[in-house]
């Protein structure tokens, strides 16, 4: 079986139908989430609690397995870098099986911040 090019995959109606269905489903789920006042209130309270704890010197610890572990490392890197807001790094940690994995995620998050800043910086 011959492998399709990216262009062929992009115009393939089956792929287009799958993607449209996936995005529509995501939109429906997000709208339902936002319409649920209890869920929104809980999420805001969690954010407030996290911000209060971090401001008081607390540390955000995250973990996961597989893809969730990768997400945890990415989020920890976002907290320790400043991304698009000029602020001090926040204490966040996502333990890794090996220290080098943790360092790679942190360095990657800081590198992305530098690239985004350079792209968005007004040119003289």
| Residue 4 covered by a domain | no
Range(s) of the domain holding residue 89: 59-120
CA distance 88 to 80: 8
| Residue 104 covered by a domain | yes
User: Of the ranges 4-18, 84-98, 107-121, which one carries the lowest mean pLDDT score?
Assistant: 107-121
DSSP assignment letter at 123 = P
| Residue 32 covered by a domain | no
CA distance 2 to 66: 31
| Residue 27 covered by a domain | no
| Residue 69 covered by a domain | yes
| Residue 23 covered by a domain | no
| Residue 106 covered by a domain | yes
Evaluate whether 77 touches 104 at the Cβ level (below 8 Å): no
| Residue 85 covered by a domain | yes
Domains contained in the chain, number: 1
Which one has a higher pLDDT value, 101 or 54?
A: 54
Average pLDDT value over all residues in the chain: 80
The strand pairing partners of 17, in sequence order, are none
- pLDDT single digits (tens) 49-96: 999 999 999 998 888 887 888 888 888 888 887 666 777 888 888 877
């Amino acid at each position: 079986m011959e492998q399709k090019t990216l262009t062929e995959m992009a115009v393939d109606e089956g792929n287009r139908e799958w993607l449209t269905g996936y995005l529509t489903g995501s939109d429906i789920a997000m709208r339902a989430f936002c319409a649920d006042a209890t869920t929104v209130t809980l999420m805001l309270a969690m954010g407030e609690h996290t911000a209060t704890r971090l401001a008081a010197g607390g540390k955000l610890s995250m973990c996961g397995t597989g893809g969730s572990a990768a997400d945890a490392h990415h989020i920890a890197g976002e907290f320790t870098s400043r991304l698009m807001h000029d602020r001090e790094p926040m204490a966040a940690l996502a333990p890794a099986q090996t220290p080098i994995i943790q360092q790679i995620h942190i360095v990657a998050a800081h590198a992305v911040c530098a690239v985004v800043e350079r792209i968005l910086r007004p040119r003289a």
